[in-house]
Every structure is written in C-alpha cells, then in structure tokens.
Amino acid sequence: MQLLRAETGWDTRQLINLLILIMVFSGVFGFIYELLFYKIDTGRFIKRGSSYGPWIPIYVFGGAAYTLLVYPFKEHPLLVFVMCVVVSGVMEYVTGWVLYNVFHTRLWDYNTEIWNFGNINGYVCLRSVMFFGVSGVLLVYMVIPILIKVMSLFDPGVMTIVCRSLALAMIVDGLLYQVNNRQKEKSGKDG
C-alpha cells in the first residue's frame, strides 16, 4: 500500500476504503465472469460462489492479493502479468486443496469444464490462471486508477460509510450463506 499512499497522498482510512472497493469490484467481476463462462460451458446461467450476493469470495481475496502483492511492481507490466498468474494459481490450488481435503467441499472442479488444459487435480488449470493474469493486469492498470479517480470525487467521510457498508454486506452475506448451508446439510442428515 506504500506505492498507493505515495501516488494518492491518502491516509490509511482512505487506502482501506480503496482496498474495499477493489475487493468488491473483483468479487463482482468474478461473479459476472463465472456467470458468462458457465453459460458458454453448460448452455445455461448458473449462479456460482458461496454467497447470496453478486460476488464470489475467492475473487474478492484475489483482488486484495493483486493489490497488496503485485501493484507495487506496476512499473514492470510483464512482471505484473507473471505475478498475477502465479498468485492466482497458488491461491486457487491451495484454496481448492484445503476446501476438499480439510472441509470435504469442492467449489470448483476443472476436470468437469471445457478448456481445462493444464489441469492440476481439478484445482487449477492453465486457462484459468492465464485469464486471471490478464484480469490482474487490467486491475492494476485500468481499474485501480479509475477507482482512485471516482473516490477523489467524493468526501472521504462519505466514502468511508459506503465502503464499510459494502464490506459489512459482504461479510454478513458470506456468514449467512455458510450458516444456512450448514443448517441445510444438518437437516438433510437428520431427515
């Protein structure tokens, strides 16, 4: 966040607001991407993710990871792309492996999708990480500068209310989804 602080002159509160907006944007972007991808893959729209809202948590955290780990290298576009590929690949593989091996849950499986070349145990594939690499480049060079400009148009206090409300909505949404999902699983086992 040091580079963003230097570029914007913003205080910590404003930088946290920016990070929240990046995370919300990334989660919604992931929701739209998956909605369209699975329309192509299956011929129908499928709501993906582990939330009720129009965001997918792994993309939310991916946006944060790109901002914190990759953005500082923005002077080197090829390195940004490679780092986004690596960060997303590691994140996807580790998350998929942990979900499956620890929680016995599989939220995605590249074994069952089209264009799954470079597939590693269904957790990650070359197509996905290449797409995420391109998406990360777009985030670093287009989306973040646009979000900075948009935030600059509003009072920082108003932005804090908006951003914290969005963050709270995502957190509550994720928690409610998990609680309801566990209740469904429990009632299915009891019935």
Does position 118 have pLDDT exceeding 60, yes or no? Answer: yes
**Residue 46 · residue 35 · CB < 8 Å:** yes
Beta-carbon contacts of residue 164 (< 8 Å; ≥ 6 apart) = 17, 20
Confidence bin at 191 (pLDDT 50/70/90) = low
pLDDT at 95: 96
pLDDT at 190: 60
112 by DSSP, 3-state: which? helix
**Residue 96 · residue 122 · CB < 8 Å:** yes
pLDDT at 50: 83
Question: Structural domain boundaries of the chain?
Answer: 2-190
Q: Write phi, then psi, for 120 (nearest 5 degrees).
A: -120, 100
Confidence bin at 189 (pLDDT 50/70/90) = low
pTM of the model: 0.92
pLDDT at 127: 94
Per-residue pLDDT tens over the stretch 20-56: 999 999 999 999 999 999 999 999 998 888 889 999 9
Pick the closest to residue 130 from 86, 168, 170, 165 (CA basis). Answer: 86
pLDDT at 69: 97
pLDDT at 187: 79
pLDDT at 24: 97
The whole-number average pLDDT for the span 150-171 is 97
Say how far apart CA 112 and CA 105 lie, in whole Å. 15
pLDDT at 184: 81
Residue with tokens 């019935």: 191
Q: Length of the chain, please?
A: 191
Type and span of the H or E element at 87: helix 77-103
Confidence bin at 185 (pLDDT 50/70/90) = confident
In angstroms, the Cα distances linking 47 to 25, 35, 119 are 17, 6, 23
Beta-carbon contacts of residue 141 (< 8 Å; ≥ 6 apart) = 74, 77, 80
The whole-number average pLDDT for the span 162-186 is 91
